[in-house]
Every structure is written in structure tokens, then in C-alpha cells.
């Protein structure tokens, strides 16, 4: 089994995430993609958006109906800073024999050298990198051992970010069609992001 892991805060999940997962699955012939919302990501200030339960609920709604996509609560359950290294190691032990591929957008590819224990991660796992508007996807800038672990998968440039969605929602602008309808309605029903000060 080849499993794609899509990590992120998913605050909220949007079509950029889902298209990236679909393209990675298709191109790298993955059997499934697991979406793993982080508790506290190392590279971000504290999550200021809806709590973990809402972020997980939105991921669950977004993957509903796709038997190849799964929402995983491992990092939320573990709590604290969510290091990819810990997550992948724990998956590797629990699901012996599975191959794990971590799916990341170009913004994450750029900062791979700063990741916690990256030299250990690249020994056991591969990365799938996808382009993202506003970020250069230049593997030549990465150290050779990291570069060797990254494969690029083509994807249409999708100029959607959770930050933009939060900003739009908090200033009363429409966020419809940037994310699945089910997630859109969940945000409305729970009045998420409406009063939040955008980052
Ligand atoms: P925020 O603006 O809060 O950082 P985000 O839209 O960047 O949110 P994250 O949860 O930070 O979403 O991202 C999770 C993963 O999805 C990262 O690897 C990121 O690069 C990737 N990703 C998010 N949006 C896109 C997109 N539009 N195109 C390609 N990759 C994306
Ligand atoms: Mg981001």
C-alpha cells in the first residue's frame, strides 16, 4: 500500500488541498490519501482559528464520499507541537509494510531544510511536491539529500489559501466555491471566522 499523507492546519480545508491530494494520488499511484490536521504546527504561531474539533470536522466533511481519502485525528489526539517526524514514525510502526509519501505545496518544499529531524525523515519517507501560486518550486536550492527525497507532481495553480478564506469571511466577503459546499455550510452554521481578526 502506498499512502499519501497530507498535513496542515486545515483552518479551513479548501479545494487547493483536495486538488493537491487528488493529483498526488493519481500521479504517484497512491492507494489512499490521509489528511492529518495538526495540533500545533511548528512553523506557525498558535492556531488562532476554530478549535481542533472544528478543523477535524471540516476535514471529515470534505473527504466524505471519497473512499480513497481519510481524515486522521492522530496529531490532534497526541497534542502539543505536531512534528511530521513523530507522525510518520508512529504510522510506520502501526502500519508496517505501508509506504508513506508526504504531500506538500511549494511553500513547504521551500522550508524543508528547517523541518525538525528532516535528515531522519528523508531516510524513510518520500515527499511529493506541488506547485502553488506565489512560491517557487526550485529543487536545485535544496541540499542534495533532501532533494533526492522529493518528487514533483504537476498541478494547476490554485490561488486559494486558508488565510485568504479567513480574511474574506471575517470581512463579510463570500467564500463560496473556494471549498466544498458541506464545509461552506458548516462554517456558516457554526459562525466560524466571522469575528476573527485575520492573521
Ligand atoms: P494557511 O493560509 O492558514 O497557512 P493553507 O491554505 O496554506 O493555510 P495549510 O493547512 O497551511 O493550508 O496547508 C497544508 C498543505 O497544503 C501544505 O503543504 C500547503 O503547501 C498545501 N496547500 C495549501 N493550499 C495549497 C494550494 N492552493 N496549492 C497547493 N498546495 C496547497
Ligand atoms: Mg499554509
Question: Quick one: three-class SS letters along 138-191?
Answer: CHHHCCHHHHCCEEEECCCCCCCCHHHHHHHHHCCCCCCCCCCHHHHHHHHHCC
Cβ of residue 104 lying under 6 Å from some atom of ligand 1: yes
* pLDDT tens sequence across 11-29: 999 999 999 999 999 999 9
Q: From ligand 1's centre to the CA of 105, what distance in Å?
A: 6
Asked if residues 43 and 140 have their Cβ atoms less than 8 Å apart, the reply is: no
CA distance 63 to 45: 27
Q: From ligand 2's centre to the CA of 90, what distance in Å?
A: 23
CA distance 83 to 75: 9
| Domain assignment present for 169 | no
Torsion of CA 63, 107, 54, 78, to 10 degrees: 100
Domain holding 54, by residue range, is 2-159
| Domain assignment present for 187 | no
Atom number in ligand 1 closest to CA 15: 27
Q: Is the pLDDT of residue 55 over 50?
A: yes
Cell of 145: 539529500
Mutate to test the pocket of ligand 1, among 11, 17, 158 (most ligand atoms within 8 A of CB): 17
Cβ of residue 162 lying under 6 Å from some atom of ligand 1: yes
| Domain assignment present for 9 | yes
Asked if residues 56 and 38 have their Cβ atoms less than 8 Å apart, the reply is: no
| Domain assignment present for 29 | yes
Cβ of residue 87 lying under 6 Å from some atom of ligand 1: no
| Domain assignment present for 188 | no
| Domain assignment present for 199 | no
| Domain assignment present for 78 | yes
| Domain assignment present for 109 | yes
Question: Collapsing DSSP states into helix, strand and coil, what is residue 45?
Answer: coil
Q: From ligand 2's centre to the CA of 105, what distance in Å?
A: 9
Angle formed by the axes of helices 181-189 and 52-63, nearest 10°: 150
DSSP type of residue 37: E
Q: From ligand 1's centre to the CA of 109, what distance in Å?
A: 11
Its pTM stands at 0.95
Q: Is the pLDDT of residue 8 over 50?
A: yes
* pLDDT tens sequence across 150-186: 999 999 999 999 999 999 999 999 999 999 999 999 9
Tell me the ligand closest to 7's alpha carbon: 1
CATH number of domain containing 83: 3.40.50.620
If one counts the domains in the chain, the total is 1
Amino acid at each position: 500500500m502506498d499512502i499519501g499523507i497530507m498535513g496542515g492546519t486545515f483552518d479551513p480545508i479548501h479545494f487547493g488541498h483536495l486538488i493537491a491530494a487528488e493529483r498526488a494520488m493519481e500521479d504517484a499511484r497512491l492507494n489512499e490519501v490521509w489528511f492529518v490536521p495538526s495540533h500545533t504546527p511548528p512553523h506557525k504561531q498558535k492556531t488562532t482559528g476554530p478549535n481542533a474539533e472544528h478543523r477535524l470536522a471540516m476535514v471529515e466533511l470534505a473527504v466524505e464520499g471519497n473512499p480513497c481519502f481519510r481524515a486522521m485525528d492522530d496529531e490532534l489526539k497526541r497534542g502539543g507541537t505536531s512534528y511530521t517526524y513523530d507522525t510518520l514514525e508512529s504510522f510506520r510502526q502501526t502500519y508496517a509494510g505501508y509506504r508513506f509519501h508526504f504531500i506538500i505545496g511549494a511553500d513547504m518544499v521551500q522550508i524543508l531544510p528547517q523541518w525538525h529531524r528532516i535528515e531522519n525523515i528523508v531516510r524513510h519517507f518520500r515527499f511529493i511536491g506541488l506547485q502553488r501560486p506565489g512560491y517557487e518550486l526550485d529543487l536545485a536550492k535544496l541540499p542534495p539529500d533532501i532533494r533526492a527525497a522529493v518528487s514533483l507532481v504537476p498541478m494547476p495553480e490554485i490561488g486559494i489559501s486558508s488565510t485568504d478564506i479567513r480574511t474574506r469571511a471575517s470581512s463579510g466577503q463570500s467564500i463560496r466555491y473556494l471549498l466544498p459546499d458541506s464545509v461552506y455550510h458548516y462554517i456558516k452554521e457554526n459562525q466560524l471566522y466571522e469575528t476573527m481578526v485575520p492573521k
